[in-house]
Structure 1
Amino acid sequence: MKKSELKTFLDQKVIDYNQKSFISSDPISIPHLFTQKEDIEIAGFLVATFAWGNRKSILNNGNLLMKLLEHQPYDFVLNHKASDLKTLQKFVHRTFNGNDLIYFIQSLKNIYKNHQGLEAIFASNHNSINLLPSIEILNEIFFELPHQKRTEKHVSNPAKNSACKRLNMYLRWMVRNDKNGVDFGLWKSISPSLLSCPLDVHSGRVARKLKLLKRKQNDLKALQELDKNLRKLDPNDPVKYDFALFGLGVFEGF
């Protein structure tokens, strides 16, 4: 397939899948429960953190978590008491457990009280190419409080050769304004041109079949290769093709 044909093909798939009908079956439905910026940011960050495995289970646990946070995630993060955290102990999604969640709430409080919030961390620390340096800084700030070592595995880090799938998905949600009401476009201080594709089994498989990706592992080098090729198709909004790659892989078995 020629480059022009590939772009036409993928652009149509973006139109097909970047629709509101996509929301209900996707983890993005959890932050869509809210209207306040900080509620959306925090709900999105938490559910993106454990968005792996069975999609129905992710949505069920996402809704359970919002209930535990009294459907006011920002207020809970800022104003919780020690006794409030005990109710979170029972939460579990695969390897993400109550102890991890409690630390996440404490760390988010530190970020919003002492670091001007999540957006400020990403907006202040990226380079002119992508947001990977800001993900490294996020890791430093996120784990500056006393914590269990095991909790670190739940925040991916490009410094450890990770493709950072879930964080890049979260950043797509916050930064990209798709004008269709799926991605939020809340973070106006960051350009969508800096976003990286949430590379996973599905998008990676389709990208290789379309010759957008040669590297076999879904690691940092693969992410950089895929980003480079998607930016050739649309330098201003390269991550719109996440809808095409994911849709082709999951819904069409491409």
Structure 2
Amino acid sequence: MSIKELLDREVTLRNCEDEVCEQKPDPIIIARKYNDEAIALICALFAYGNVKQIVKFLDSLDFSLLEKSDKEIKTALGQHYYRFQTSEDVITLFLALKKLKKITTLEKIFMDGYRDSSNVIDGINAIIKQLYELYPFSSKGYIFLIGKVTTKTKGSGALKRWMMWLRWMVRDDNIDLGLWSSVNKADLIMPLDTHTFKVGRKLGLLERKTYDLQAAIELTNALKEFDNEDPLKYDFALYRLGQEKIV
């Protein structure tokens, strides 16, 4: 069996709603309940660490707070923290997204950065910049949560959580949400995590030994050899192959 045949088989096998459930938890479980771009972004940005703990934390959040007063947000989230993020970091993200939702949409900000270049990194940078401008705040936990503007690919963080959120927004199948229609699926970049990085190298799809944004781009380009129009259809399959130690 060729690598393409293996991956195509896994895509078909995994592309079902039962693939994401209580027995097979994933942060998109929470995002699915709301079908909202801002709530999905919160789910994606906190998607690091143990997946059961991620889902448990996300399930504890009251997303209706995005429509409430600053005081209500601060009171309700005063005891919420997750790993590197203090309650102040969590509160700040909610306050920044609340401000953003009042004046524009995440999709519009993203498109303003992405439209001319067709580079999703530019779109992500536009959102990160806007979040800091709308609610100026700095802490180690908050910077880790939403990241910094990315100007290079080699040696830079892989932007895994942002790339995963974009996959959710743009792709439309039994796993992803497909809330946006203006972004070309061919422009998406792999949400590179430890599983997809290791599997990509084991399958010979990735030669780069450094876990960075350049590696994510190289793996994406390799997958374009199998499907030039939708390379990220293989992301979830690669992730599960590594998570379940099949490869």
Give the TM-score of the pair, scaled to structure 2: 0.89
How far, CA to CA, are the matches of 2:93 and 2:212 in structure 1? 25
Aligned residue in 1 for 2:165: 170
Deviates more, 1:97-106 or 1:196-205: 97-106
Q: Offset at 1:128? A: 4.8
RMSD: 1.7
Letter in 1 for 2:60: L
Partner residue of 1:11 out of 8, 11, 18? 8
Letter in 1 for 2:243: V
User: Unaligned regions of 5+ residues in structure 1, if any?
Assistant: none
Instruction: Please list the CA deviations of residues 40-89 of structure 1 after superposition, one character each: whole Å capped at 9, or x if unmatched.
Output: 22221112111111111111111001xxx2xxx3x522332314322202
How far, CA to CA, are the matches of 1:197 and 1:148 in structure 2? 28
Aligned residue in 2 for 1:149: 139
8 Å contact kept, 1:193–1:237: yes
Aligned residue in 2 for 1:121: 109
- After superposition, residues 173-252 of structure 1 pair within 5 angstroms as 173-178=168-173, 180=174, 182-252=175-245
Aligned residue in 2 for 1:30: 30
Aligned residue in 2 for 1:87: 76
The 3-state SS of whatever aligns with 2:129 is helix
Q: Offset at 1:247? A: 1.3
Aligned residue in 2 for 1:159: 151
In structure 2, the CA distance between the partners of 1:149 and 1:94, relative to structure 1 (3 Å rule), is closer
How far, CA to CA, are the matches of 2:72 and 2:240 in structure 1? 43
How far, CA to CA, are the matches of 2:172 and 2:72 in structure 1? 38
The 3-state SS of whatever aligns with 1:233 is coil
Letter in 2 for 1:173: W
- After superposition, residues 46-65 of structure 1 pair within 5 angstroms as 46-65=42-61
8 Å contact kept, 1:125–1:133: yes
8 Å contact kept, 1:162–1:220: yes
Whether 2:129 is the aligned partner of 1:140: answer yes
In structure 2, the CA distance between the partners of 1:16 and 1:130, relative to structure 1 (3 Å rule), is farther
Q: Offset at 1:233? A: 1.4
Letter in 1 for 2:44: A
8 Å contact kept, 2:192–2:216: yes
Q: Identity of counterpart residues, as a percentage?
A: 35
User: Unaligned regions of 5+ residues in structure 2, if any?
Assistant: none
Deviates more, 1:126-135 or 1:140-149: 126-135
8 Å contact kept, 2:196–2:235: yes
How far, CA to CA, are the matches of 2:209 and 2:28 in structure 1? 28
How far, CA to CA, are the matches of 2:105 and 2:213 in structure 1? 26
Give the TM-score of the pair, scaled to structure 1: 0.87
Q: Offset at 1:92? A: 1.3
Aligned length: 237
How far, CA to CA, are the matches of 2:93 and 2:74 in structure 1? 11
How far, CA to CA, are the matches of 1:83 and 1:41 in structure 2? 22
